[in-house]
Chains A and B, each alone.
Chain A
Amino acid sequence: MYLYDEFDRTLLTERVDEFRGQVARRLSGELTEDEFKSLRLMNGVYLQLHAYMLRIAIPYGTLSSQQLRQLALVARRYDRGYGHFTTRQNIQFNWIKLAQLPDAMADLAAVGLHGMQTSGNCVRNITTDQWAGVAPDEIDDPRVWAELIRQHVTLHPEFSFLPRKFKIAVGASDHDRAALRIHDLALRMHTNGAGERGFEVMVGGGLGRTPFIAKTIKEFLPQRDVLSYIEAVLRLYNQYGRRDNIYKARIKILVHDKGAEQFGKEVEAEWQSIKDGRLALDQAVVDEIATRFQYPEYVQLSNDPPELKKALSDGRFAVWHANSVRPHKQPGYAIVTLSLKPVGKPTGDCTADQMDKIAEIADRFSFSEIRVGHEQNLVLPQVAQRDLPEVFKALDAIEVATPNVNHISDIIACPGLDYCSLANARAIPVAQEISKRFADFKISENLGRLHVNISGCINACGHHHVGHIGILGVEKNGEEFYQITIGGRADEKAELGTLIGPAVPYDEVADVVEDLAEAYLDLRERPNELFIETFKRVGVEPFKERVYATR
């Protein structure tokens, strides 16, 4: 956990006071809706189809049990008893009333939570690996850097009115669990030839109407220069990013128009003039942040304790264990993923009762800590392996132990036309139908890792371009149609998906996904060749033939 101090608390109190004043000015008519819009957006407040929506930042996806309980309280007191976890490791409440928003924010501020910069044309919540600090393959805890950057960009006087939103992610493992290359700016920690740690800097990734995979503009940025380099990128973007067309305003367009190499040169020039100034990081400042990350008092345990071995003879436990439990860097511990994708239910939703229970389970078994992943699942990052049987029972009882993590039914979906005023088509019911078709875990297990991503419009909040199977809702003559792509991926080998052919109507989407799954089973060379690997080997044609042969 990261420990907030007086400075963080003071800022949140000042922020809530300011927002209370802004809401009062809006309610009295002193502010027009247009003037209020940018202000509310900077506090995470959207106007949706039916009501205001409040999006709360969960920095680098780390939550304490106390914070999760407070989210449950907010869900009950101001909303309809549930919240929705997003692909940016945030949580959204969909039914909040404007007049109550300042009170909800004050309740959140009491536990260090807020909606600052979860929307608007500013630097958004910094995301990272949901396994940060516990993953066996990481070089260092990327959250220290995410927190440093978070602080630096919070209410930044120069960069709070950018051309468009700006998303930053930080990773520190070989395996990318943070979808780095679909970010406006991403940092990947690595070690150079001299054994020093630094960052590869990537810019200009992003999905939406014009998807791009981020390009590397600096292979090795020393740690001390992280803030000055980001400042240089943001300064160029703030001045030269397009503001005449909202769809061309993201930094990816600027990078694309100039060319990554030229953009990198311009960043370099700006950076050279500020790198040795006030933004050069003092090691003491980095250390200060690092010391406020609290790590559990692990006890010395060994792997595969007898309690676990015994429980593995139980079929249901064994299936869940194989699917949802992963190795931890500390022997005797495990990382446990909680599926928020129960068959036939909305993806990423969590009820207040579930939140309370998960907080309780985290207190008992995971050093009071919970993580949120960009796949819209939760994680208990540090569970003793001997406790796994009990943890499974507790999670199963509240329906967050569906053994479909990374399976075809572990779908990432945006809220779609059920909530969102931008959407052209529904996303949630499509996901529900697909998860029903693949409800048999033997079938989904056999299909292996297979990511399905659904967006209800071109803005791509469901990251459809990088789904192994990507589904995009479009509107044709007043009806919902869906374009299907395959072969996208958001990991260290990030790629955009390939369109398989003409869009299909709402009723046929799940059939197409079944066709693709069957085609894959026929095409794969061996049982452990993943869908994405088969696609890479055989290309789109055989899949296309299967899907359109009978259509």
Chain B
Amino acid sequence: MPLVRGGRIVADNFTRIEDGAPIPNEGAVLVPAARFLADANELLQRQAPVGVIWPNDKNVSELAPYLDKLALIALVFPVYKDGRAYSQARLLRERHNYRGELRATGQVLRDQFVFLLRAGFDAFDVVKEADALAFEETAKRYSVFFQPTGDGRMTVARSRLKLHGHPTPATTRVNA
């Protein structure tokens, strides 16, 4: 499963730790949520980066105390039509100001890329090779965005005001 980060396919430097498996002293690790919460402070004292896999039915505010030390949060799309992780991503980025890597994992297809980027994801475990290769092209597919999210893209409403100035609404709509 190719990992896309910074728009390119890259090698995954994190080792996924299975439940119950020992955590090595060296190297970046990605730890299941329950395991992480059980030992969070100890884990975060490792020299190497620590990431957590966070299920989509768990409140992300539980991660708040650890956000500045976490290198990676992987949010899960068990099936791609289950969109709970989009809300989690926006809350992490926009409410809790999380600045580490935010990775989409699970059933991630190219048709989600624009939504994922806008919600604040910056890394993607893409299921299909062809989708990963099409990342750059797909990410540029849309140039028009209506909603202000944390991604900083200019919204249509703002663009219109910039383009046309502030409008004067008609005082009456009936031309007698």
A interface, CB within 8 angstroms of B: 5, 7-8, 10-11, 14, 17-18, 22, 30, 35, 38-39, 121, 133, 141, 151-162, 235, 238-239, 243, 273, 278-279, 282, 284-285, 287-288, 290-291, 295, 297-298, 300, 330
Q: A18-B141, A152-B146 are in contact. Are A38 and B82 (CB under 8 A)?
A: no
B46 on the interface (CB 8 Å rule)? no
Within 8 Å of chain A (Cβ to Cβ): is B27? Answer: no
Q: Using an 8 Å CB-CB cutoff, how does the interface string of B165-176 with A read, 1 for contact, 0 for none?
A: 011111001111
Alpha-carbon distance A420/B159, docked complex (angstroms): 43
Assess whether B167 is in contact with A288, with CB atoms less than 8 Å apart. Answer: yes
Residues of A within 8 A of B8 (CB): none
CB nearest neighbor in A for B117: A157
Option from A14, A22, A157, A284 in Cβ contact (under 8 Å) with B86: A157
Would you give 19 A-B contacts (Cβ < 8 Å), ordered by A?
Answer: A11-B144, A14-B141, A14-B143, A30-B130, A35-B80, A152-B147, A156-B147, A157-B114, A158-B83, A239-B88, A278-B148, A282-B157, A285-B161, A287-B167, A288-B164, A288-B166, A288-B167, A290-B170, A295-B173
Contact indicator B130/A238 (Cβ below 8 Å): no
A239 to B117, CA, bound (A): 19
Q: Are B161 and A35 in contact (CB under 8 A)?
A: no
The list of the 5 closest CB pairs from A to B, nearest first, reads A161-B83, A157-B118, A278-B148, A11-B144, A157-B115
Task: Let me know if A298 and B176 touch, CB within 8 A.
Answer: yes
Decide: A238 near B83, CB < 8 A? Known: A14-B142, A17-B141, A295-B173: yes
Q: How far is the CA of A160 from the CA of B157 in the complex (A)?
A: 20
Contact A298 B86 (CB under 8 A): no
Answer yes or no: B103 CB below 8 A from chain A CBs: no
Chain A residue nearest to B144 in the complex (CB): A11
Beyond A7-B156, A121-B81, A156-B147, is A288–B161 a contact (Cβ under 8 Å)?
Answer: yes
The answer to whether A155 and B81 touch across the interface, beta carbons within 8 angstroms, is no
Q: A7-B159, A8-B144, A154-B146 are in contact. List 12 more A-B contacts (CB 8 A).
A: A10-B144, A14-B142, A30-B130, A38-B81, A121-B81, A121-B83, A151-B146, A152-B146, A157-B119, A158-B86, A160-B86, A279-B148
Chain B residues within 8 Å of A158, by CB: 83, 86-87, 90, 115, 119, 147, 149
Nearest B residue (CB) for A141: B173
Contacting A284 at CB < 8 Å: which of B83, B119, B167, B173?
A: B167
- When the two chains form their complex, are residues B157 and A159 in contact, meaning their CB atoms are under 8 A apart? no
Residue from A14, A121, A133 whose CB has the most chain B CB atoms within 10 Å: A14
* Whole-angstrom distance between the Cβ of A133 and the nearest chain B Cβ: 8
| Residues B143 and A10 in contact, CB atoms below 8 Å apart | yes
Distance in Å from the Cβ of A462 to the closest Cβ of chain B? 27
Cα separation A545 to B100 with both chains bound (whole Å): 70
- The residue in chain A whose Cβ has the minimal distance to the Cβ of B134 is A21
Among residues 10 to 67 in chain B, which have CB atoms less than 8 Å away from a CB atom of chain A? none
